[in-house]
Amino acid sequence: MDEIKSELLRVARELPPEHLPRFFADLEEIRRTAEMQLHVTIMSQPQGDELMTVTEASKRLRVSKDTLYRNEFPFTRHIGRHRLFSRNGIDRAIMQSDLTPERTDVNLTHPKRRRRLN
C-alpha cells in the first residue's frame, strides 16, 4: 500500500496543472470503487437481526415514542398488535441518513380536544 501511495504522490507532484482535474477524477473513481467494495463486503457478512421495542428504538434513534407510533418507517415490523423495529434496518437508515417515514397513519390535523367541565 505504501508503494501505491508513494507513486500517486510522485505523479501528483510531477503532473502539469492542466492534467490535475483528470487526476482528481481518477482518484475519485478509485475511492468510490473501494468504498463500494467495502460496502459489499460488510453487507455480505451474515448478521442476525434483533427486533427492538418502541422504547429501545426511540432511544437508539433519539426521537420520541410518539414519532415512532405515528409514522411508518421501512424498519417497522408488525407482529400481532405489537410495533417492533429492526435493529439492522435502523442501523442501515442511520448509515444512509434516511430516516423519513414511508407514510403517516394518523391524521395530525385534528388533535384531541379536552372536554370542559361545567
What cell was used for 24?
Answer: 482528481
pLDDT at 28 over 80: yes
Q: What is the mean pLDDT of the chain?
A: 82
pLDDT in tens, 30-52: 988 888 877 766 555 546 788 89
C-alpha cell of residue 111: 388533535
pLDDT digit string, tens, across residues 72-94? 898 998 888 889 999 999 998 88
Q: What is the DSSP string of 41-71?
A: HHHHS-----EE-HHHHHHHHT--HHHHHHE
All three cell numbers of 103, joined, read: 407514510
**8 A C-beta contact, residue 21 and residue 54:** no
Selected residue with higher pLDDT from 46 and 17: 17
